[in-house]
Structure 1
Amino acid sequence: MVRLFLALLASLTLAAATFAQESGPSLRRGVSVHEWLNWSPLEEDGSYRWPPYRSIEEWLSGGRPLSDWPTGDQFTRIREMGFDFVRLSVDPGPLLATQGAKRQEALDVLRAAVGQVTGAGLAAVLDLHAVGQKPEYSLAGLDSNANSEGTRRYRGMVADVAGMLAMFGTSSVALEPFNEPGFYPCGADSSGEWQKIMAAVVSDIRAVSADLTVIATGACGGSIAGLIDLDPSFDDPSIRYSFHMYQPHSFTHQRSDDPDGFVSGLPWPAATGSLTRSIAELKARMQADNVDPVVQALNLAAFQKIAADYFAADAGQAQLDALLDQAVRWAEEHDIPTERLFMGEFGTILMTPDGRMGAHNVDRLRYLTALRKGAERFGIPWSIWEYSNPYGMSVILPEGSAEADPDLLQALGLSQAR
């Protein structure tokens, strides 16, 4: 009888744990929407326009004519493309700048935005995505110190956001309290402050909601290096662990800070091209654009160093697999199912028509397909960067009618939007 009771107890415990793990939102294939609720508009005196954040129309017309967009709800379109969640990046500045009733006004705007996403049949990950528009409300305000006044203010704000999201229940929303925190270096030389901050924020959220899905992140820009430096001693079944994948960065972010710069055309995998060929192709693109010969020489010199390092590293499938394996091994070492990892950002700049920046489409698609399949092999949810922008990483084609890029959707294993 005792043995039967213990077996029944174990069965009930396992069932409860399984329910807790599956009670959060279903997150598999997502897309970031970044241009809507970030960089909340400012008044002439530098204060936030109130109520804060952009309207849908302001967002859609920010980089192209509003007439480019087909009629209908954007989030319904996103669902019809095959995505099941939106990672909604939100500037926390208006929240950090206010208290009491005024902060509640900002929370009400965000609650309505989350409601638009979930109302379209998508889950919503609210990503508190600090920006440098007002430095006092960027992540620099944490002062790299778990006990700083900036950190305490940020923690209080996160708790208020958690309370707002908890009103939706736990089946359709998640909270990502930080995006790409710095706190370098990671590893043995880490100060340990980020560990304290992340653990404290999880505790704050749990004081508000026992089972709201939380997406935790490591330091060092939210990279895999930061993830594997994190001690998940605060773990529970409703926590997921984020990492961003822009590696090799010299491939995914082929661009120059110089307005006259040309950095483009590195192939992926590297073995499909060569240093000599890449230099010759870049030179031809500059000549076709009538770039001054002196500027050409400067660009080629800068590019040669980047390209030489890239080809020497032999970027390719083995490199991607090794990086993902680091995240998987970390999860296994801590008895965390790989399904609770979260590849929260990945993407590659597409080459611009003038050849000034970006990767050839064929190389971009090969890379994104390989990375997406690599994550899915371990059941890791992912979110592509991002839905629509004029900066080279966009699901929506950058010019003309605002339609989805069919080649990109295919690389992501998704259907073409209707």
Structure 2
Amino acid sequence: MKKVVCVLAWLLAIATATEAAPIHLERGVGVHEWLNWSPVGKDGSYNWPPYRSEQEWLAGHRPLTDWPGGDEFARIRSMGFDFIRLSVDPGPLLASEGAKRQQALDILAAAVERVTSAGLKVVFDLHGVTQVPAYGMEMIYGGADSKGVAHYRDMVVAVATMLVKIGTDKVALEPYNEPAYYPCDSSGSDDWQRIMAGTVHDIRMVSSELTIVATGACGGSIAGLVNLTPSFDDPNLYYSFHMYEPHSFTHQRSDEANAFASGLPWPASSSTPEAVSELLKIRMEAAGLSKVEQVMNMTTAQQAITRYFAQDWGQGQLEASFRQALDWAEGHGIPGRRLFMGEFGVILMSADGRMGAHDADRLRYLSAVRREAERFAIPWSVWEFSNPYGMTLILPDGPAVPDPEMLQALGLP
């Protein structure tokens, strides 16, 4: 009899393991401006209670009257998205404890439930920022055994506990965004490996069912992912990478005053270095730059233009980038559908032509990346829902409506 019971228990365990899977995700959009950058007072500490209301978020960069009214998250759902990647500033949680931390967690729980009530799932993205330096991501860069990492991991456990109460069928937890442990090869330390493995262990002590989104180091890139050893793997994990390759195309901008960095095409074969240089000169002339400023700008810009065309970025290299991630997954026995493209996007050319890509090139890139992910059933989240910085689904001026051509590039109705 004991033998029969043991066999039945073993079969049940096998069946449960076979059925286990992360929450099903397909097409998402990042919502970054709502719960990130929690307001700070004149003394440099977080305002309390922390975080912005939904209305404060929507009115942050434009008149509230621009928005059509009604349920904004139901509108996101109607666009064809099934989840949002909700960026959350962990700073207020790190800066508090006891009843005060619980107050912050209650605010975040209400926000998550607000989204899930509209029929969307949530990837809860702890997205550290720098506005209160003591609680920025620098705190985790002192090594795996540092007090900063221990404090951060304690906070992650509190968040996991909160999310489990909402429902493991509705939410996933992404404990780190674009961790900056470098270099991106095996010559580095094993600090990030230990941090990620330890954090997964912490979350699993709370719940075996909560979906976790794990990430490699090196800014969350594919290079960081393939340097990660998934010794902590279980069926309820996704593995994240961000697709901004080549960065020289997706992030065309310069931090220098009066500098122009724009107009690289996608794919590179669709234009020539001469054409890009000539159009850049025309934009600088129209902006009123002096001849000296134009010459100085072109000296720097020409190097980037030459390098980009020499690398000949296009579909083949995009496929090779995805292949790195897929080969890593296959090598560790992880289905490709458990990869997660947590961010991709392109800065749209600004009105003055100082930064960004032409709209047609941006749309071609977004479509190519999205199609490549879907080819392998990799869920994706585009960056980002609404902002004035050039990567936005909602048009930045006038009525707050989605960019119809961007929706089309994303394969949405």
Distance 1:190 1:354, change over 3 A: same
Structure 2 counterpart SS, 1:214 = strand
How many Å apart are 1:356 and its aligned residue? Answer: 1.2
How many Å apart are 1:300 and its aligned residue? Answer: 1.1
Aligned ranges for residues 38-53 of structure 1 at < 5 Å?
38-53=36-51
Gaps of 5+ in 2: none
How many Å apart are 1:144 and its aligned residue? Answer: 3.5
Aligned ranges for residues 11-410 of structure 1 at < 5 Å?
15-21=15-21, 24-410=22-408
Aligned-partner Cα distance in 1 for 2:76–2:23: 17
Aligned-partner Cα distance in 2 for 1:76–1:255: 34
> Given that residues 144 and 183 in structure 1 are in contact (C-alpha distance below 8 angstroms), is that contact kept between their aligned partners in structure 2?
no
Aligned residues: 410
Letter of the 1:293 counterpart: K
> Given that residues 27 and 83 in structure 2 are in contact (C-alpha distance below 8 angstroms), is that contact kept between their aligned partners in structure 1?
yes
Aligned-partner Cα distance in 1 for 2:10–2:105: 42
> Given that residues 93 and 138 in structure 1 are in contact (C-alpha distance below 8 angstroms), is that contact kept between their aligned partners in structure 2?
yes
Aligned-partner Cα distance in 2 for 1:390–1:102: 33
CA RMSD of aligned residues (A): 1.7
Aligned-partner Cα distance in 2 for 1:169–1:389: 30
How many Å apart are 1:18 and its aligned residue? Answer: 3.4
Residues 204-250 of structure 1, C-alpha deviations (whole Å, 9 max, x = no match):
00011111000000000000000000000000000110000101000
Residues 240-269 of structure 1, C-alpha deviations (whole Å, 9 max, x = no match):
100001010000001111231111100010
Letter of the 1:141 counterpart: M
Letter of the 2:104 counterpart: A
Letter of the 2:219 counterpart: G
> Given that residues 45 and 132 in structure 2 are in contact (C-alpha distance below 8 angstroms), is that contact kept between their aligned partners in structure 1?
no
Letter of the 1:17 counterpart: A
Aligned-partner Cα distance in 1 for 2:196–2:278: 47
How many Å apart are 1:122 and its aligned residue? Answer: 0.2
Structure 2 counterpart SS, 1:188 = coil
Structure 1 counterpart SS, 2:49 = coil
Structure 1 counterpart SS, 2:218 = coil
Letter of the 1:51 counterpart: P
How many Å apart are 1:354 and its aligned residue? Answer: 1.4
How many Å apart are 1:295 and its aligned residue? Answer: 1.5
> Given that residues 141 and 181 in structure 2 are in contact (C-alpha distance below 8 angstroms), is that contact kept between their aligned partners in structure 1?
no
Residues 311-360 of structure 1, C-alpha deviations (whole Å, 9 max, x = no match):
00000001100000000000000000111100000000011121111101
Gaps of 5+ in 1: none
How many Å apart are 1:17 and its aligned residue? Answer: 2.6
Q: Name the % identity.
A: 61
Structure 2 counterpart SS, 1:221 = helix
Q: Report which stretch shifted further, 303-312 or 130-139.
A: 130-139
How many Å apart are 1:143 and its aligned residue? Answer: 2.8
Aligned-partner Cα distance in 2 for 1:75–1:408: 18
> Given that residues 127 and 175 in structure 1 are in contact (C-alpha distance below 8 angstroms), is that contact kept between their aligned partners in structure 2?
yes
> Given that residues 144 and 193 in structure 1 are in contact (C-alpha distance below 8 angstroms), is that contact kept between their aligned partners in structure 2?
no
> Given that residues 144 and 194 in structure 1 are in contact (C-alpha distance below 8 angstroms), is that contact kept between their aligned partners in structure 2?
no
Aligned-partner Cα distance in 2 for 1:199–1:305: 41
User: Structure 2 length as normaliser, TM-score?
Assistant: 0.97
Aligned-partner Cα distance in 2 for 1:295–1:55: 44
Aligned-partner Cα distance in 2 for 1:151–1:10: 37
Letter of the 2:395 counterpart: L
User: Structure 1 length as normaliser, TM-score?
Assistant: 0.95
Letter of the 1:373 counterpart: R
Q: Report which stretch shifted further, 139-148 or 178-187.
A: 139-148
Letter of the 1:300 counterpart: M
How many Å apart are 1:187 and its aligned residue? Answer: 1.5
> Given that residues 41 and 49 in structure 1 are in contact (C-alpha distance below 8 angstroms), is that contact kept between their aligned partners in structure 2?
yes
Letter of the 1:179 counterpart: N
Structure 1 counterpart SS, 2:119 = coil
